[in-house]
Amino acid sequence: MQKKLFFAPDAIRYAVIGDPVAHSRSPGMQNAAFAEMGMGKPYGKFHVHPSELPDFIAFAREHLLGVNLTVPHKREVIPLLDEIDPAAALAGSVNTLRIEAGRITGYSTDGYGLIAALKEEFGIAPAGKHILFVGAGGAAQATAFSLAEAGAASIAIANRSVLRAEELAAAIGNACPKCRMSALALADRTGLGAQILGADVLIQATSLGLKPEDPPPFDPALLKGSRCAVFDTIYRRTPVLEGAQAAGLPAAGGRAMLIHQGARSFAIWTGREPDLDAMRRGFEEEPGSC
């Protein structure tokens, strides 16, 4: 296969890659933080097809200082790295690359972003809490390990494919034996209802809700009578958020998670804490959805 050549203007030293990537709000958010520190606007975006990932990594090694990765590259990039942060290795997911003298280290900041978002939105820390994940894809995988490591008492994972939920629950249980893990099928209405009633926090981590016409991943009527805080990783208004609000529950979309995971990436690259308000403004100004 022909090698793909990537080019970046001289000013570009950081970038997000994905397939698709046009919708990414990371450039607006990160450039706002860089500009606030007088560092210009050095963050771009590259559309990278899965087959082009090795060529992009070779380009990044020579020309860039930092990269964010989104779907579908978070796992596939791992064999191409020189080093991986232990937390990212455990989660099997990398969303941030730091490049120093041509050496690439991979990190995962999604778990940090989710924990910071739960604190910001609900004042909740994971220690001792009962967490219910709806979804067992890349986002759940990248974040559930962090919640277990941060001391969650239990994590239940409900997914359309119950096998995927069982595998993730088993992997987390092996790594964090103090956290009680369980898995169930999203279609198990009775089981899901019981989990919702016992949960302190419900995290909606399926991709349902990205499109306005998407149905909810479960019947929002199951939220009635619960006391859980509902966090949707998607940052538009979703049927799950509407159901939570109708049930009188605390509810928040994924904007704060995206901002905090980006802020952590920024700190990994620069050694400095970014201005979160500037990042929030940059997020709002950037057209797109994630």
d(CA 155, CA 109): 20
d(CA 235, CA 124): 19
Buried b (16+ CB within 10 A) or exposed e, 223-243: beebebbbbbbbbeebbbbeb
| Smallest gap from residue 230 Cβ to ligand NDP (A) | 14
Instruction: Confirm or reject binding of residue 171 to ligand NDP (CB under 6 A).
Output: no
Residue with smaller CB distance to ligand NDP, 26 or 154 = 26
Instruction: Confirm or reject binding of residue 241 to ligand NDP (CB under 6 A).
Output: no
| Smallest gap from residue 3 Cβ to ligand NDP (A) | 28
Type and span of the H or E element at 159: strand 154-159
Which range in 32-40, 57-65, 134-142, 149-157 contacts ligand NDP by CB under 6 A? 134-142
| Residue of this chain nearest to ligand NDP (CB atom) | 137
- Residue found under tokens 């771009």: 44
d(CA 107, CA 60): 16
d(CA 97, CA 105): 6
Q: Are strands 66-69 and 96-100 parallel, antiparallel or unpaired?
A: antiparallel
Which range in 43-51, 170-178, 189-197, 232-240 contacts ligand NDP by CB under 6 A? 232-240
Count the neighbouring beta carbons within 10 Å of the beta carbon of residue 110: 29
Instruction: Confirm or reject binding of residue 138 to ligand NDP (CB under 6 A).
Output: yes
Instruction: Confirm or reject binding of residue 233 to ligand NDP (CB under 6 A).
Output: yes
Both structure tokens of 282: 């940059």
d(CA 142, CA 150): 14
Nearest CA to 180 among 188, 191, 166, 169? 169
| Smallest gap from residue 162 Cβ to ligand NDP (A) | 8
d(CA 106, CA 99): 9
Does residue 74 have an active-site annotation?
Answer: yes
| Smallest gap from residue 158 Cβ to ligand NDP (A) | 9
Instruction: Confirm or reject binding of residue 276 to ligand NDP (CB under 6 A).
Output: no
Q: Are strands 154-159 and 229-232 parallel, antiparallel or unpaired?
A: unpaired
Residue with smaller CB distance to ligand NDP, 66 or 135 = 135
Catalytic residue among 74, 119, 129, 178: 74
Instruction: Confirm or reject binding of residue 223 to ligand NDP (CB under 6 A).
Output: no
Instruction: Confirm or reject binding of residue 137 to ligand NDP (CB under 6 A).
Output: yes
Among the listed residues 33, 53, 67, 136, the single contact to ligand NDP using CB under 6 A: 136
Nearest CA to 117 among 237, 268, 280? 280
Instruction: Confirm or reject binding of residue 257 to ligand NDP (CB under 6 A).
Output: yes
Instruction: Confirm or reject binding of residue 26 to ligand NDP (CB under 6 A).
Output: no
| Smallest gap from residue 11 Cβ to ligand NDP (A) | 26
**Binding footprint of ligand NDP on the chain (CB under 6 A):** 71, 110, 113, 135-140, 159-161, 164, 186, 205-208, 210, 217, 233-235, 254, 257-258, 261, 290
User: Which residues are known to be catalytic?
Assistant: 74
